[in-house]
Structure 1
Amino acid sequence: MFENTFAAELASRLGSRIEIATGENLVEGLLISVNNNLISIDTTNGYGSGNRLYISINSINYVRFPASAA
């Protein structure tokens, strides 16, 4: 039940910079898409276009939306 609410909140932030922690990784990038089970993030490495990474919503420990520098 919580996953649906969490997915809906993430979906409302498509196109935002995001940091996601799982049990093994900390991932930073641009939130590209959300469905009931997966999110996709465009990770940028500073050398051209980034890589698309898919993360199961169940594996997310926390999410942070960094403030943009003004």
Structure 2
Amino acid sequence: MSTPRSGFGLIELMVALALGMLVVLGMTQMFSSCREAYLSQQSSAMLQEDTHGRHAWLSFDRSYC
């Protein structure tokens, strides 16, 4: 009788490697997309804050003229 061999074959390892690479690629794309959205929101918030500060400064100047 032949003894059963344990372990994974080459095809199974290659399939697992391909699936792992797809998961990593998906996570990288999601991270990149979230980072891009964060930077866009941060830029918009800074622009709004700067505009608000200038408006407040102009209002302050006009009140004492």
> One fold, TM greater than 0.5?
no
Instruction: Specify the structure having the higher radius of gyration (Cα).
Output: 2
Say which structure, 1 or 2, has more relative contact order (CA 8 Å, 6+ apart): 1
Which structure: greater helix fraction?
2
* TM-score (normalizing by structure 2): 0.22
Q: Which has the higher strand share?
A: 1
TM-score by length of 1: 0.20
